[in-house]
Amino acid sequence: MRLNKFLSNSGVASRRKCDELIKEGKVFVNGKQVKELGTVVNEKKDKVTVEEKVISLPSSFVYIKLNKPKGYACSASDEKGRKTIYDLIDCDERLFSIGRLDYDTEGLIILTNDGDFANKVAHPKYNIEKEYRVTIEGDIKESELAVMRKGVVIDGERMPSARVEKLSQDDKYTKLSVVIDEGQNRQVRRMFEAIGKSIRLLKRVRIGQVRLGGLSRGDYKDLTEEELNLLVRGK
Ligand code: URA
């Protein structure tokens, strides 16, 4: 098995991130540093370590959906010492999230130790939709919604278009649904910043056909067989 596949299947990180770890010289096979991306390992015999941790393939796969609360980082260890989503999950397997949410964003996150599955779901070819609930301060004009639907322009560059619907409004706040199928860094926040709107709450409620449902903040549960199948089929 190729070393990057072995590492991602073992839950170290995505295939691309594993390539970076290899190039950075953080991976050792039988005690020898390996920087060659094409390296093949015998998963039954070879001893693979990353930063002195021995890596092994999981004995079984885990697929979890989590309702991430605001105030949690999605990285395995946070450089600022903040709480991470891994503090919420009691699991002996090395899990990683498929995509991330900002520290201040809440909602649906999918975690797994199955690297192949994660690579498939994250692959741009599938363009899996992500749906958010956004609460902004004040009102929003139809012309501003039209700008977001077309794709806001930031520093001369057009952001991907989004499906944006106004859901409700009171005298202080407006609630919207936003659906995007790319996952650029801080995409939703940047879209609203570009039209001068301040976000009060950002929550992801759906990835593909998998919904957050009634999961309470900080709770998680296994994805069903049906949810898994829908995810690998895309959209
Ligand atoms: N868009 C953002 O701006 N933040 C997230 O966390 C997710 C999507």
Domain CATH number, residue 31: 3.10.290.10
Is 102 annotated as catalytic? yes
The residues lining ligand 1, judged by C-beta closer than 6 Å to any ligand atom, are 101-102, 105, 186-189, 202
Alpha carbon of 8 to ligand 1 centroid (Å):
24
Which of 101, 135, 180 to probe ligand 1 with, by most ligand atoms within 8 A of CB?
A: 101
Domain CATH number, residue 193: 3.30.70.1560
Q: What is the pTM of this model?
A: 0.83
Which residue's CA is minimally distant from atom 4 of ligand 1? Answer: 186
Same domain, 92 and 159: no
Distance of alpha carbon 145 from alpha carbon 198, whole angstroms:
14
Same domain, 189 and 140: yes
Same domain, 133 and 200: yes
Same domain, 186 and 133: yes
The atom number, within ligand 1, closest to the CA of 101 reads 6
233 vs 228, residue with greater confidence: 228
The atom number, within ligand 1, closest to the CA of 104 reads 6
Report CA-CA distances (Å) from 50 to 44, 56, 89: 17, 11, 23
pLDDT tops 60 at residue 235? no
Alpha carbon of 227 to ligand 1 centroid (Å):
22
- Model pLDDT, residue 43: 87
- Model pLDDT, residue 213: 93
Which residue's CA is minimally distant from atom 2 of ligand 1? Answer: 186
Largest CA distance in the chain: 66
What would the pLDDT profile of 54-110 be if each residue is shown by its tens digit? 998 887 889 999 999 999 999 888 888 999 999 999 988 888 898 899 999 999 999
Which structural domain range is residue 49 located in?
3-55
Identify which of 42, 40, 37 has the alpha carbon closest to the alpha carbon of residue 17. 37
Domain CATH number, residue 105: 3.30.70.580
pLDDT tops 90 at residue 119? no
Q: Per DSSP, what are the bridge partners of residue 157?
A: 154
pLDDT tops 70 at residue 206? yes
Given the residues 46, 102, 139, 181, the one annotated as active site? 102
pLDDT tops 80 at residue 141? yes
Mean pLDDT, all residues of the chain: 92
